[in-house]
Amino acid sequence: MPLFAHSDNHVGLQVADLLASTLVLPMAAAAYGAPEGNVHDSFRYQTVRTDHGDALRDLQYRYPGRDGRWRGGIVVSDPGGHRPGSLLFGSPDQKDD
């Protein structure tokens, strides 16, 4: 069903959807693992993560919070594995504690 919204918002929403579906989903599946046999799993996802991880990390707006921890950007919640959000981009770094 079509969604009707103010036309000034459409481009931003389309860009966010494009980034989420073509980059973030494959990178998250490669980094954190898709369940076995899941249709959202492909051996090519690691290539997407390797080729675009640095660029996507650099596109984020990140800022230090009052408690000294970094805020903003893409947030990952991994209560089972307790893996850092920086793993999404290819390698852990200190900014995503």
pLDDT tens digits, 52-83: 999 999 999 999 999 999 899 998 988 888 99
DSSP-assigned states of every residue in 30-88: HHH-PPTT-TT--TTHHHHHHHHHHHHHHHS-EEE-TTS-EEES-----TTT---GGGG
CA separation (Å) from 10 to 4, 5, 16, 58, 80?
9, 7, 10, 23, 36
Q: What is the pLDDT of residue 63?
A: 95
pTM for the complete prediction? 0.73
